[in-house]
Structure 1
């Protein structure tokens, strides 16, 4: 009799262990599946970060080149910078900065087909604005318009405030700066490190918004941005529902 009880108990233990093995295997399969999904998401995030990193490296290289060119022009002008309002110019030359500036030509790389978002008629266009006031931007600082209304062609980087031309074309650029009462700013449009427009914003009795426009032929991969000028900058740049400070541009050919 005792032998039968021992045999029965042994069978019960064996059956319980088998059921536990089945449960453990099911739980392990579920965990492995969840881990595989998490790894897939991480791989996608890493790929996106690598793409963003390549774009930032390209943009940083372009800005470094523009800075080098700007320093060269400052040295040529006796350290006074080149915040010059254009008085006479023609396509391919700028006679007011002491010599000719060759017309920009697209590099062979820039003529390759680009897989970017564009409208049906191949127009490039962007419009961005500041989400809040910019306190004391100082002199010779790039203004970052950090929110986007439109970015047809994905040329504008709202993290750095810089437009990189997706294609060679004739572009219209316009920017609006809103200043507090008694505050004033000189802002400039730079294309490939050269000033193509300058604007003064000031009013001693109330807040004010001023706008400026420039029409420029820009080669592919050239940087365009708005910065404060070398002098005459005091106070805060305003931007709110009462009136945004904006930067826009679009191709016209």
Structure 2
């Protein structure tokens, strides 16, 4: 529409410029300004058209949303109506039973509560293990073949180790591993035996020199019967050892011995 109007104005101006000799002529610059103004008007109209289209789309979306809300309200109203009807019917039934002397029992909702029992940690019945250290700083003037007492028990599963006598008694028959580590006094030498039932299995010797302590260790694997005893003994008279948790004795059951019984048929 504006394009046609612009074209008509342009034709009129051209006719006026050509045919009217007595009237003042429109300059070329004025003509260009007029065309520019018309062009700006066309752009403004296009922009307004786009705004109108956006507004129409917004109105359509609002109408759609409003329709959805009305549908939701209708469904909720129907649900409320059904609930009121159910309550009214139940109340009327309850009143009829009250008039007749009967009672209406509403079934209770049963709730089951599962109380979680605390987890109890247990070792297998055949688990045997112990570890103990010497807590005192120094063990002095030990006699020959005297047990070294590792008094501080760290582990004693199966209660096989006695920290008053420094001896382990096998609670079950089986294959065992034992280890000991002994530290000497400064500039002093010691001799130690690891014994089973009083019989020497291995020896251990160490010496501290240059004002320092010396430390040695031994490990054995032996098969024991139930009731056999194992200990770490001082070999010579009047030896001394350094404790303070530097000297230790420990062991554990590798595999329990299972006795096989054979039956004679005949």
Q: TM-score, normalised by structure 2?
A: 0.47
Q: TM-score, normalised by structure 1?
A: 0.49
Q: Which has the larger radius of gyration?
A: 2
